[in-house]
């Protein structure tokens, strides 16, 4: 059996009931086959792949907090410190009722390669909790965040592990966590990113994932003889990534016609009104029904079981920006049938493996999340730099660095795909380019 297959079987056997983690590992290992086979003896002897798929450290902890009725609630807390070969662990904290260890491991594993692709010195990690911030009062969210950090603060720090936002964790949650970390440690340091601008946050971090997604998409289209201007774009999600992806797409001259949340989706043929969307989602924390109520041109569709939502709408470019496995084979077929020619992932692993293969086979340009959404973590690393030198850069400075990083990422993965005889396969290109830097650093640092 080949080394890659052996390691994949081991991952399934040793990590039962973690399908998302298996899926993420499978996709990466499949792409690496050609690289591994060229140097199999050495990698096998060093157990390089076994070490790569095994987190350096996994923290599981209890998070007790008191709700507004005086009732004690208990959630599960997670932090997976996956790989520190090229820098301190770096990655977000997801707060969503679906969170479990397998989901955090898939996200942490992806983060290793994503962070490598940014070209910046950051290792891979991820964390979170099955706490649901939806419908909670600010005081309840604060109580949860303080309890979460009271345990996690022992294991993080500006030079060891630097968490940030993800689904359910935005500026409010990062603020409460930062305050508690500072209170417990007495340190005013860059231990979290995505901070508010008055206490060490970076300009353009809020916009970075969505903007970066569009900078990369623009470059991918340009290198394939196409232009984003004048195109119709379908976006899923209506959170941090989706909102700023829509904003930048419109600035670049495209028309965004859809957004969604977990209960429904909007079709707005006149183009999404981003200012209204921000008011509904960022200020009121309300459902998309409020967007539809305030805008004549918008159709609201309730999400029903088995219904395929935003991907049934005719578009040129699709940007999934909500969650994992939200774009399946049927969606991919609908996109291709409607003439969609490019898909770039704003979310982490939103496209199933079958859907990815179908899109690639049908000539759709496909950029995986670990490259396409790397602008968020890249700008987090720029926030770390600013915190270390105790300076703040202008919006234009950060935004122009972000754009350069995204353009470079695209060319790195495009070059890697060509070098290994898989021109145009950006999934393989991203996995190979991300892997090679981490593998070299792990090898140089010996058996640790
Ligand atoms: P937010 O919490 O701001 O928004 C998430 C959006 O996705 C919401 O519209 C939410 O709807 C929807 N959503 C979440 N879970 C589900 C679900 N199970 N089914 C259907 N819809 C769902 O998160 P972000 O925008 O920050 O994150 C979106 C994606 O981007 C995630 O995959 C995240 O890992 C990834 N990402 C985020 C980065 C960042 O910097 N924030 C960086 C790189 C990647 P509802 O409100 O109804 O739950
Ligand atoms: O998935 C991701 O890259 C993020 N949620 C952002 C991580 C970060 O450290 O900014």
Give me the phi and psi of 412, to 5 degrees please.
Answer: -60, -45
Contact 91, 167 (CB under 8 A): no
Residue 126 is a catalytic residue: yes
Contact 4, 36 (CB under 8 A): yes
The mean-pLDDT minimum among 69-73, 76-80, 300-304 falls in 300-304
- Please give the share of the chain, as a percent, with pLDDT higher than 90: 98
Mean pLDDT of 233-252: 98
285 C-beta closer than 6 A to ligand 1: no
Helix (H, G, I), strand (E, B) or coil at 343: strand
415 class by beta-carbon count within 10 Å (0-12 exposed, 13-18 middle, 19+ buried): middle
55 C-beta closer than 6 A to ligand 1: no
Contacts with 246 (C-beta within 8 Å, 6 or more apart), sequence order? 210, 233, 235, 256, 259, 272, 274, 277
Residue closest by Cα to atom 48 of ligand 1: 262
Atom of ligand 1 nearest to the CA of 169: 2
Q: Which helix (H) or strand (E) holds 76?
A: strand 72-83
Q: How far apart are CA 253 and CA 251, in angstroms?
A: 5
- Does residue 306 have a pLDDT over 80? no
383 C-beta closer than 6 A to ligand 2: no
**Cα 102 to ligand 1 centre (Å):** 17
Sheet with 161-164, strands from edge to edge, namely 57-66, 72-83, 123-129, 89-95, 161-164
pLDDT in tens, 28-53: 999 999 999 999 999 999 999 999 99
Q: How far apart are CA 26 and CA 419, in angstroms?
A: 22
Question: Which letter, b or e, does each residue of 178-187 get, where b requires 16 or more Cβ atoms within 10 Å of its Cβ?
Answer: bebbbeeeee
Atom of ligand 2 nearest to the CA of 114: 3
Task: Find where tokens 């942490």 sit.
Answer: 108
Confidence of residue 228 (pLDDT cuts 50, 70, 90): very high
**Cα 237 to ligand 1 centre (Å):** 6
- Does residue 296 have a pLDDT over 90? yes
Atom of ligand 2 nearest to the CA of 90: 9
- Best substitution site from 94, 163, 380 to test ligand 2's pocket, by max atoms within 8 Å of Cβ? 380
- Does residue 307 have a pLDDT over 80? no
């Amino acid at each position: 059996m080949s080394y890659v297959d052996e390691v994949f079987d081991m991952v399934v056997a040793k990590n039962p009931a973690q399908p998302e983690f298996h899926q993420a590992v499978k996709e990466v290992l499949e792409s690496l086959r050609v690289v591994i086979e060229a140097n199999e003896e050495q990698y096998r002897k060093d157990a390089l792949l076994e070490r790569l798929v095994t987190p350096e450290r996994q923290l599981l902890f209890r998070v007790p907090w008191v709700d507004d009725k005086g009732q004690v609630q208990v959630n599960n807390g997670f932090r997976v410190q996956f790989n520190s070969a090229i820098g301190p662990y770096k990655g977000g904290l997801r707060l969503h009722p679906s969170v479990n260890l397998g989901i955090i491991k898939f996200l942490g594993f992806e983060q290793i390669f994503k962070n490598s692709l940014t070209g910046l010195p950051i290792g891979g990690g991820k964390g979170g909790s099955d706490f649901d911030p939806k419908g909670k009062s600010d005081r309840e969210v604060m109580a949860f965040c303080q309890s979460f950090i009271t345990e996690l603060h022992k294991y993080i720090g500006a030079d060891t592990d630097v968490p940030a936002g993800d689904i359910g964790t935005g500026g409010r949650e990062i603020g409460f966590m930062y305050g508690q970390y500072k209170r417990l440690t007495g340190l005013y340091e860059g231990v979290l990113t995505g901070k508010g601008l008055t206490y060490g946050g970076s300009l353009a971090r809020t916009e970075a994932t969505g903007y970066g997604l569009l900078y990369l998409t623009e470059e991918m289209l340009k290198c394939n003889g196409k232009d984003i201007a004048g195109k119709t774009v379908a976006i899923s999600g209506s959170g941090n990534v989706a909102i700023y992806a829509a904003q930048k797409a419109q600035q670049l001259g495209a028309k965004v016609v859809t957004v969604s949340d977990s209960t429904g989706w909007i079709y707005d043929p006149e183009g999404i009104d981003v200012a209204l969307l921000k008011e509904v989602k960022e200020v009121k924390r309300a459902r998309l029904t409020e967007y539809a109520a305030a805008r004549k041109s918008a159709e609201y569709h309730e999400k029903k079981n088995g219904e395929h939502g935003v991907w049934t709408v005719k578009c040129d470019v699709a940007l999934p920006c909500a969650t994992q496995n939200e774009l399946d084979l049927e969606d991919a077929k609908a996109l291709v049938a409607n003439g969609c020619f490019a898909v770039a992932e704003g979310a982490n692993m939103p496209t199933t493996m079958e859907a990815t293969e179908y899109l690639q086979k049908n000539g759709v340009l496909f950029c995986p999340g670990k490259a396409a959404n790397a602008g968020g973590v890249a700008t987090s690393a720029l926030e770390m730099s600013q915190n270390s030198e105790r300076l703040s850069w202008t919006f234009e400075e950060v935004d122009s660095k972000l754009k350069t990083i995204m353009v470079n990422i695209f060319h790195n993965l495009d070059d890697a795909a060509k070098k290994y005889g898989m021109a145009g396969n950006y999934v393989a290109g991203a996995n190979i380019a991300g892997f090679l830097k981490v593998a070299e650093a792990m090898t140089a640092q010996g058996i640790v």
